[in-house]
A and B are shown apart, each in its own frame.
Chain A
């Protein structure tokens, strides 16, 4: 089936959980990424976001595509969201796919911090 024959996807689960994370996360002072922490990779263009999404999903990583949070960039694009524990793998897989990572951010205390 072609994508065009499908109706748009339902709201993404992790978009909602992302908001919950913002509300309930209290800690996050340590410089090292903690278990359960969510990270976001900002890429150059939507082409790379979709390419990266395909690569990471086919590698079995639980990821999501989210709008680039306002506090990271004034840009209007999308970012890849993943568990910070997977950061090394994500970076390797994206590099193998010739995808330039503009920045990786961790969600701490409800705010994104550049790693």
Chain B
């Protein structure tokens, strides 16, 4: 079996991630920050360490500014719905995922916000001049996908951070956290939403949001935190302000271990390895006449995610045959991102997305190319 669907969720997970979840479940199991016993304290420590290690990865100086959520969508909702108020203007590129576009579109339709969608090129590059020109007096948020989930295009965050100036800059790092270097200080990021189950190698149901000091988000949920229990007022300090209810402790424990896996390998080494895979895949695809490759077509400017279509064949047929005849898992369709497909010219039929991760090999790239050659030439 060849798994080329890592942009959806990474598979397999490092054994240490599975071991950590198992060990927690068998020897600790407690809820952190509630009861006062040693096991509860130990659970609290594991969450603390996961938070600290994520901050190491993203260069967040104060770890309480990074809060856990159940996924990137949850984090993006907290950032968007918690920040924006009546009359605010928001700027997004045309490549944004539904996890950003749906909350924004909801606010737009309610008449709460104004929205500017900045065009991107067919390869997914943002028009920075247009971005700059879209800024208004009431612009309250610039939200950008760090790496496209459809074609892998990496956005120039440092330049956008510079352009955004005092305007809060929200980055959706679902596809990049762990795979591409992220430095919230160097890139001027004010809100960083990430997921745990992709290139951070944690389990599903984990994610988080970094919130820069000075940015006050309205919490979307209120409830038990284990702190200030004597009061009906929800705590106003982080991380408790945005983390209520029993957390996904086993998930966060696994995520912490996934982050340590990434820190141990080094993001640059992971990136180098995935660029080699991407280069080999792109070079091989170029030789198959019937295949069209979307996105930058350059491993330096994209993640290990490549979208293709095959002349004369539906994307769904190609993906189905890859799965059933060649045991290759890919993702077909619109990838929760109609905006990106409209931008690259593949709406509404979609593409076959081949997305690799650190556990894929050059040999697997060769086998995928061979399978595609056979599918394209078969009658």
Contact = CB atoms under 8 A, between A and B. Distances in A.
B35 interface: yes
A73 B229 CA distance: 9
A44 B240 contact: yes
B74 interface: no
A44 B227 contact: yes
Contact of B27 (A8, A75, A98): A8
B239 A77 contact: no
Interface residues of B, number: 40
Contacts of A68: 36
Interface stretch (B44-52, B178-186, B280-288, B342-350): B44-52
Among A7, A47, A77, max chain B CB count under 10 A is at A47
A46 B253 contact: no
Contacts of B240: 44-45, 47
Contacts of A100: 237
A76 B35 contact: yes
Interface residues of A, number: 29
Contacts of B39: 8
Contact of A75 (B23, B49, B228): B228
Contacts of B338: none
Contacts, number: 94
Contact of B33 (A46, A51, A66): A46
Given A44-B235, A48-B64, A78-B36, A8 B227 contact: no
A9 B33 contact: no
A65 interface: yes
Contacts of A12: 38
A95 B50 CA distance: 23
Given A4-B46, A45-B239, A47-B44, 12 more contacts: A3-B46, A4-B20, A5-B23, A46-B44, A48-B64, A50-B44, A51-B64, A68-B36, A73-B230, A75-B227, A76-B35, A77-B33
Enumerate the 8 nearest inter-chain pairs by beta-carbon distance, A residue then B residue, closest first.
A67-B36, A46-B33, A4-B20, A45-B227, A50-B48, A46-B44, A4-B23, A75-B229
